Amino acid sequence: MRIAVAGIGHETNTFSSLRTTLSDFWVRRGEECVPREIAEEFGAEVELAPCLIASATPNGMVTLSAYTELRDELLARLKLRMPFDGIYLSLHGAMEVEEIGDGETDLLRSIRRLVGPNMPIAASLDLHGNLSPEFVASVNILTALRTAPHIDGPETRVRAFRHLVQSIRQGVRLTTAMKKLPLLLPGENAVTATEPSKSLYAHISELESNEGIWDASLMIACAWTDSPHTSVSTLVVGEDGERASTLACEYGDLVWTKRHEFGPEVATIPLREAIARAMAATEGPVFVSDSGDNVTAGGAGDVSFMLGKLLTAGAKDVLYAGITDPAAVEACVAVGPGETVELSLGGKLDAINCQPLGITAKVLRVEGGTATVEVDDITVVITDGRRPFHTLESFEPSGIDPLSKRIVVVKQGYLAPELRERCSETFIALTPGFTDLRIACLPYRNLSRPIYPLDPI
Ligand SMILES: [Zn+2]
């Protein structure tokens, strides 16, 4: 058996004024593109035909030229590798492309044009994906992550691949059925370790115990992608399309009954209140999310608004990680550690939600595209590119141990488990930016309406 491996993955934040260009993509070609766990699990029994897998950090719309270049190379490589018995695709599910719209729909349309309607195709997805009916109908097997924060990437990819191999071996043609709900959820309101998400994801095993049902997924979707396909949906993969469709609807009904119960797992509070609460804490480190500028969901990473408020409030023993500002990093490199520098910080990538913040800071360290500076009693990490501080390792270039600080501000929504386990307290500050959690205030234009909770249903 011979299986082609390919994919283009992106989580697009359409509220961002930035664009995702070709140089933003990490492109792996040939052998290098095969996910390690798939090579390990199936390398001996399946002949792999690796083509191309491209992925990028969540960001604004993908430019037409970046997408078409990647798509056309993917198709050319697929054509070169023919014949094969099936295709495995590694996707995210929330890609929006300039002038095209839904990227996954266009990609699958192009692939089907090349391989025909009968070629078995499986795809693994992020649960923050917005799926069009045409896309779902073009793929036989769809399965998504079941954890947020995400810790089940490898097993999700293996599951998609295994279903594909087994269905080909058994000569079974699988169909994925989708039920879309008129429900919009920011990811922060659907952390899978908390209710109602926990029980709803646990329900998947019950669905899979039905005869002829191979898989099921609950898609939370990406609320910062303004598209007609942005909504919570359920997926069921089965041998009988009608049965799968019935179960997807029943699963969707169950999710719908819980719509009032979704909410953040930690306190989500206005900025002024968040700063006061952090400053009043008696034990550190308190981790506060600057949630409107969440780099892992397409925030620019250079909104210095909250930093300005912390300085005004006179917050002490703070680590602010970080601000993307290549010019500021350069200025720090130019003067060197120990020296004082005047900076006009941030507000260049996201000029909609903030203005550059003028500060006089002391340079503590410059290292690998990162400058660490101190202003009053606040240590600020400045980076030359958009970078999340979501693991302990990610703080290393700054030379600062975040656990030694009283207050740590990160540009995220929910905290990654590694930091969550180590902080004394964590909460989310409602701040401005491309990932503003106050979704009722976002300028949606393309959503299918009505949708809860924006409209009365
Ligand atoms: Zn995700």
> What confidence tier does 178 reach under pLDDT thresholds 50, 70, 90?
very high
Q: Tell whether 456 is covered by a domain.
A: no
Backbone CA torsion sign across 437, 443, 444, 446: negative
Number of separate domains in the chain: 2
- Find the 150 Cα to ligand 1 centroid distance in Å: 7
**Residue 359 pLDDT > 90, yes or no?**
yes
Q: Tell whether 453 is covered by a domain.
A: no
Provide the pLDDT for residue 276. 98
Mark whether 131 and 231 lie in a shared domain: yes
Burial of 217 (0-12, 13-18, 19+ CB in 10 A): buried
Sort strands 407-410 and 286-290 into parallel, antiparallel or unpaired. Answer: parallel
- Find the 417 Cα to ligand 1 centroid distance in Å: 14
The residue segments making up the domain with residue 223 are 2-261
Provide the pLDDT for residue 416. 87
The Cα–Cα gap between 142 and 121 comes to 9
Provide the pLDDT for residue 326. 98
Provide the pLDDT for residue 456. 87
Q: Tell whether 446 is covered by a domain.
A: no
- Find the 316 Cα to ligand 1 centroid distance in Å: 33
- Find the 284 Cα to ligand 1 centroid distance in Å: 28
Question: Contact, 139 vs 176, CB < 8 A?
Answer: yes
> What confidence tier does 63 reach under pLDDT thresholds 50, 70, 90?
very high
- Find the 128 Cα to ligand 1 centroid distance in Å: 5
Provide the pLDDT for residue 285. 97
- Find the 126 Cα to ligand 1 centroid distance in Å: 5
- Find the 234 Cα to ligand 1 centroid distance in Å: 16
**Residue 5 pLDDT > 90, yes or no?**
yes
> What confidence tier does 327 reach under pLDDT thresholds 50, 70, 90?
very high
- Find the 369 Cα to ligand 1 centroid distance in Å: 27
- Find the 107 Cα to ligand 1 centroid distance in Å: 20
**Residue 152 pLDDT > 90, yes or no?**
yes
Mark whether 25 and 93 lie in a shared domain: yes
Provide the pLDDT for residue 360. 98
- Find the 80 Cα to ligand 1 centroid distance in Å: 32
- Find the 191 Cα to ligand 1 centroid distance in Å: 11
Mark whether 27 and 176 lie in a shared domain: yes
**Residue 357 pLDDT > 90, yes or no?**
yes
- Find the 330 Cα to ligand 1 centroid distance in Å: 33
Mean pLDDT of 77-99: 98
Mark whether 245 and 309 lie in a shared domain: no
Mark whether 239 and 283 lie in a shared domain: no
- Find the 371 Cα to ligand 1 centroid distance in Å: 29
Mark whether 257 and 273 lie in a shared domain: no
Q: List the beta bridge partners of residue 407.
A: 286, 318
Mark whether 226 and 363 lie in a shared domain: no
> What confidence tier does 284 reach under pLDDT thresholds 50, 70, 90?
confident
**Residue 295 pLDDT > 90, yes or no?**
yes
- Find the 91 Cα to ligand 1 centroid distance in Å: 11
Q: Tell whether 455 is covered by a domain.
A: no
Residue 417, preceding peptide bond in cis (omega within 30° of 0) = no
Provide the pLDDT for residue 457. 83
**Residue 84 pLDDT > 90, yes or no?**
yes
Q: Tell whether 449 is covered by a domain.
A: no
Mean pLDDT of 168-183: 98
- Find the 81 Cα to ligand 1 centroid distance in Å: 31
Q: Tell whether 124 is covered by a domain.
A: yes
- Find the 32 Cα to ligand 1 centroid distance in Å: 23
Mark whether 331 and 185 lie in a shared domain: no
Q: List the beta bridge partners of residue 235.
A: 178, 217
- Find the 327 Cα to ligand 1 centroid distance in Å: 30
- Find the 129 Cα to ligand 1 centroid distance in Å: 8
Task: Specify the residue for token string 């930035």.
Answer: 18
**Sheet containing 175-180: which strands, arranged edge to edge?**
175-180, 233-238, 213-219
Mark whether 112 and 223 lie in a shared domain: yes
Mean pLDDT of 20-40: 97
- Find the 55 Cα to ligand 1 centroid distance in Å: 13
- Find the 73 Cα to ligand 1 centroid distance in Å: 26
The Cα–Cα gap between 362 and 359 comes to 10
Question: Contact, 160 vs 124, CB < 8 A?
Answer: yes
Q: Tell whether 301 is covered by a domain.
A: yes
Mark whether 159 and 275 lie in a shared domain: no
The identity of residue 361, as a single letter, is A
Domain termination residue (choose one: 244, 261, 278)? 261
Q: Tell whether 450 is covered by a domain.
A: no
Of 247, 53, 35, the C-alpha closest to 161 is 35
- Find the 392 Cα to ligand 1 centroid distance in Å: 20
Mark whether 122 and 242 lie in a shared domain: yes
- Find the 296 Cα to ligand 1 centroid distance in Å: 8
Mark whether 214 and 145 lie in a shared domain: yes
**Residue 181 pLDDT > 90, yes or no?**
yes
Give the rounded percent of residues in the chain with a pLDDT score beyond 70.
100
Task: Please give the mean pLDDT across all residues of the chain.
Answer: 97
